[in-house]
């Protein structure tokens, strides 16, 4: 679909916010489910972009910076894939291809991240010198410059994709053979499953597994709406918090009453 100038400006602004939030991490605009939803809201493709963001979020949950290893750029993956989905005009049919394209885009975004972090090292030294001089205003200015640099890191690729236009993007997607698009869809689904498995591996504890099983079963009931599932999720979260405050009791047996895992103590008792 073709976008007007206001939509293009708003999408670039969302991309800028996603880039800054990748460092600030205050409002989570860099999270795929939020970035894709905002782009879908601006472009009028809320449904497909929301589904895309949800799928990408399951992948991004398994991405984390560990030591010197930098995770793929979730912000760039979300923004670029959402723009491609919107410009392609395929709706829900193009979600699989957009997901498959998001992963290499995220890896490619590592180059921009490394460049920005290298430049940020020099900015830190400038700020150290300003702090030694007692020039607080100069420190603040360079701090803002560093944050803006992170926003531009995502805004420029977004603007370049938008500059290409809907026509070439649509023609490129339509020119892809069926075996390639089907393969990208299958690959995208496998990547989501891998990300989901990584998340489960990180959160796999004995006090969480019962809640996961309950949620997994309830999600298969077609009569339950997302609002109903959300209400059940909130209720389970409140139940978990209440059990955490209660702790274990050992049922009158001798020995320590608490092991540092209150919910685990209750599960052991029962």
Query: How far, in Å, CA of 186 to CA of 99, rounded?
Result: 10
- Inform me whether the pLDDT recorded for 5 exceeds 70: yes
Contacts of residue 132, Cβ cutoff 8 Å, sequence gap at least 6:
none
Where is pLDDT greater, at 138 or 112?
138
Where is pLDDT greater, at 129 or 97?
129
Residues comprising the chain, all counted: 270
State which H helix or E strand residue 145 sits in: helix 136-164
Q: SS3 of 10, please?
A: helix
Query: What is the average per-residue pLDDT within 113-134?
Result: 89
Query: How far, in Å, CA of 88 to CA of 39, rounded?
Result: 14
Under DSSP, the state recorded for 207 is T
Token duo for residue 163: 């500059």
Q: SS3 of 183, please?
A: helix
- Model pLDDT, residue 170: 65
The 10s digit of each residue's pLDDT in 147-178 is 999 999 999 989 988 988 767 766 766 676 77
Q: Is 107 exposed, middle or buried (0-12, 13-18, 19+ CB in 10 A)?
A: middle
The 10s digit of each residue's pLDDT in 183-237 is 766 665 666 566 667 667 766 677 777 777 887 788 788 788 878 888 888 888 8
* Percent of the chain at pLDDT exceeding 70: 76
Radius of gyration for the alpha carbons in the chain, expressed in angstroms and rounded: 23
- Inform me whether the pLDDT recorded for 249 exceeds 50: no
Q: SS3 of 25, please?
A: coil
Averaged pLDDT score across all residues of the chain: 79
CB atoms within 10 A of CB 220: 7
């Amino acid at each position: 679909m073709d976008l007007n100038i206001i939509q293009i400006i708003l999408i670039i602004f969302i991309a800028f916010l996603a880039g800054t939030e990748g460092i600030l991490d205050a409002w989570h605009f860099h999270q795929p489910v939020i970035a894709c939803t905002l782009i879908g809201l601006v472009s009028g493709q809320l449904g497909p972009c929301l589904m895309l963001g949800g799928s990408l979020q399951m992948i991004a949950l398994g991405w984390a910076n560990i030591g010197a290893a930098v995770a793929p750029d979730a912000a760039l993956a979300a923004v670029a894939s959402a723009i491609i989905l919107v410009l392609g005009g395929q709706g829900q049919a193009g979600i699989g291809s957009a997901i498959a394209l998001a992963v290499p885009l995220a890896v490619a975004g590592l180059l921009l991240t490394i460049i920005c972090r290298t430049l940020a090292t020099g900015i830190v030294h400038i700020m150290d010198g300003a702090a030694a001089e007692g020039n607080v205003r100069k420190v603040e200015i360079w701090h803002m410059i560093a944050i803006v640099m992170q926003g531009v890191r995502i805004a420029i690729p977004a603007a370049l994709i938008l500059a290409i236009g809907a026509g070439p993007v649509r023609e490129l997607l339509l020119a892809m053979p069926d075996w390639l698009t089907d393969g990208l869809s299958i690959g995208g689904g496998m990547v989501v499953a891998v990300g989901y498995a990584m998340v489960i591996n990180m959160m796999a504890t004995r006090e969480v597994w019962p809640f996961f099983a309950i949620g997994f079963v309830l999600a298969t009931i077609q009569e339950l709406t997302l609002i109903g599932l959300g209400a059940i999720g909130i209720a389970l979260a409140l139940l978990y918090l209440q059990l955490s405050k209660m702790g274990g009791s050992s049922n009158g047996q001798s020995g320590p009453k608490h092991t540092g895992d209150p919910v685990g103590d209750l599960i052991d008792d029962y």
